[in-house]
Chain A
Amino acid sequence: MVAELTKNERQGALVILLALAVTGLAMAAGGRGDPFGVHGALVLVVSIAGIFAVIGGYYAPEPSPDRLDSYYDTPTKFGIIAAMVWAVVGMAVGDWVAWLLAYPEWTFDAAWASFGRLRPVHTSGVIFGFGGNALIATSFYVMQRTSRARLPDQLTPWFVLFGYNLFCVIAATGYLMGVTQSKEYAEPEWYADIWLVIVWVVYFVLYLRTLNRRKEPHIYVSNWYYLAFILVVAMLHIVNNLAVPISWGSAKSYSLFSGVQDAMTEWWYGHNAVAFFLTSGFLGMMYYYMPKRAGRPIYSYRMSIISFWGITFFYMWAGSHHLHYTALPQWVQSLGMTFSVMLLVPSWVSAGNALMTLNGAWHKVRDDAVLRFMMVAAVFYGLSTFEGSFMAIRPVNALSHYTDWTVGHVHAGALGWVAMITFGAIYASVPWLWKRNGMYSAKLVEAHFWLALAGTIIYVFAMWNSGIIQGLMWRTYNESGTLAYSFVDSLVAMHPYYIARAVGGVFFLLGAIIGFYNIWMTIRTASQDETAHNTADHPVTEPAVGVPALQPGE
């Protein structure tokens, strides 16, 4: 890896790592026994390891100028493996906390093993660790291909990837030590947030620099979605995390906002994290990998543009639906509800566009589990966005809010849409990146697909049942006008569903582990003879050029 850097880049890497080591040392000294100091020591150790790695390869011959004849894919390969590691860790912790809800006594009396500390390890692990690495890795791949331009240099992509994963590790280890600013999906404290801003701005600039070098006149729509993801996440992250630390040597900070303004800022951030992290970025992924894998262009390119602007401008206003029946002014709630309902239009246009793209390639969906991952993702995208718009309607929200229905909805989106499209994209790219004829085992991809689908369905149905029972029990009155059930009654009623949910999680986790094994074996297995040509694993070449397969009825 260091051998791929030019001499100047190796020096640049050393300067960055030295600066980071000094920062880590200062943090460790200033923080002392505080978790801030522990994180300082972590930064210091990681930077020193990095310095040794760079020095170890410092005198390797410089990369040949021929490298400019190919795309720079090593960062993408690293990002995909990192994504799979985070998938296994994040999903394992997720299933662990699922069992913890069914059997709350399983905490070994240890603070770090409490639900409140483990749960953000799960959410950040899967959203930022798995999802984020997959988005960064695929965005590097897609932006180079669609621009027909190589990344502008070799150092920046590594800075983005290592910096981002350092953020994820600081976040996860911090949660276990009790470091949190208590904002959902934005739990990391001020110093981690500042570091992420630096990494993220570098990522944004890297994307623009690559686009600036493009040899295609038109910027392919995937890039629009990826760019919206990067730009808006930066805005959200900076505003929501405005805070004042209690000292330079402490992890603890206080938000600049308080009361209902704090709640509104948090859910403006939170819902747009769903919109721009978990939707926009993954739509960018879908608009590249699905047509590529199916060998058919997007059904309607125009619709992909219209729904892009619809999603971008409607989502921005939808966050207040998380605060129905709170101190938030009624009109702000109504605004959020209205925009959430309107969002159904661009969302279903996107889902429909994806499914129509597969028209004429359904035989491939049947035979190819990779494409089937993407198809199921589009279906779950359509289902979850319908459910989301529905749940944002105030009277519906009266039943669903604070119940497991919300958890079910989130997981229909996260497992059914985000994880499925990611696995599809990863399975498609691994043979392309490592120049293999196909995955190590098509049967294992098939097994992963069915485990993931079964897991998602078990999970979502368990939570729908539990959530609606919960919601109904909380609002049932007896003849004397008081509540018919105590909270503990509703808890007892949920117990079987919690076990079912945890079992669904085991299915999904097993699928991810099998996927990781399959990817690992694909990388390790030497490329077979190119004569064993497997059409399903290659982009369609000559025969299909400009001649779409016949549609039914044509």
Chain B
Amino acid sequence: MTITHDLLVWFSKSFGLFYLMGLSLIVVIYAYWPANQKPFNAAAQAILHDDDDKPYRG
């Protein structure tokens, strides 16, 4: 099968469009999902106070 220009344009205007839109939507939903705020803020704070500077050993 040869990939023609028309085929590529059709593919990018159908699959490409929804793939990028869908992806953006998923990323925004993930970033703003209320349950995710706690781990996000914890992670942002955590790097500031690793006072002992030691790996965890369990």
Residues of chain A touching chain B, judged by Cβ–Cβ distance below 8 Å, are 68-71, 144-146, 148-150, 215-218, 220-221, 288, 291-292, 295-298, 301-303, 305-306, 309-310, 313, 329, 331, 335, 432, 539-541, 544-546
Query: Is A329 a contact of B53 with CB atoms below 8 Å?
Result: no
Number of A-B contacts (CB under 8 A): 90
Query: Is B30 a contact of A305 with CB atoms below 8 Å?
Result: yes
Sample of 19 more A-B contacts, CB < 8 Å, known A145-B47, A305-B40, A544-B48: A68-B55, A70-B53, A71-B54, A71-B55, A146-B43, A146-B46, A215-B58, A217-B39, A218-B39, A218-B40, A218-B43, A220-B43, A291-B44, A291-B47, A291-B48, A292-B48, A309-B24, A539-B49, A539-B50
Cβ of B31 < 8 Å from any Cβ of A? yes
Q: Known contacts A302-B32, A309-B27, A313-B20; is A69 also within 8 Å of B43 by CB?
A: no
Closest Cβ of chain A to B35, distance in Å, is 12
Q: How far is the CA of A310 from the CA of B40 in the complex (A)?
A: 18
Closest to A144 in B: B55
Query: Is A313 a contact of B44 with CB atoms below 8 Å?
Result: no
Q: How far is the CA of A480 from the CA of B40 in the complex (A)?
A: 66
Query: Is B43 a contact of A216 with CB atoms below 8 Å?
Result: yes
Query: Is A148 a contact of B55 with CB atoms below 8 Å?
Result: yes
Cβ of B42 < 8 Å from any Cβ of A? yes
Q: How far is the CA of A473 from the CA of B11 in the complex (A)?
A: 42
Q: How far is the CA of A291 from the CA of B41 in the complex (A)?
A: 13
Q: How far is the CA of A345 from the CA of B20 in the complex (A)?
A: 15
Q: How far is the CA of A144 from the CA of B43 in the complex (A)?
A: 14
| List of A residues within 8 angstroms of B32 by Cβ | 302
| List of A residues within 8 angstroms of B46 by Cβ | 146, 216, 220
Interface residues of B in 19-37 (CB under 8 A from A): 20, 23-24, 27-28, 30-32
Closest to A546 in B: B45
The 9 closest A-B pairs by CB, nearest first: A215-B56, A297-B44, A150-B55, A218-B39, A302-B31, A309-B27, A148-B56, A301-B40, A301-B44
Q: How far is the CA of A539 from the CA of B49 in the complex (A)?
A: 7
Q: How far is the CA of A545 from the CA of B49 in the complex (A)?
A: 8
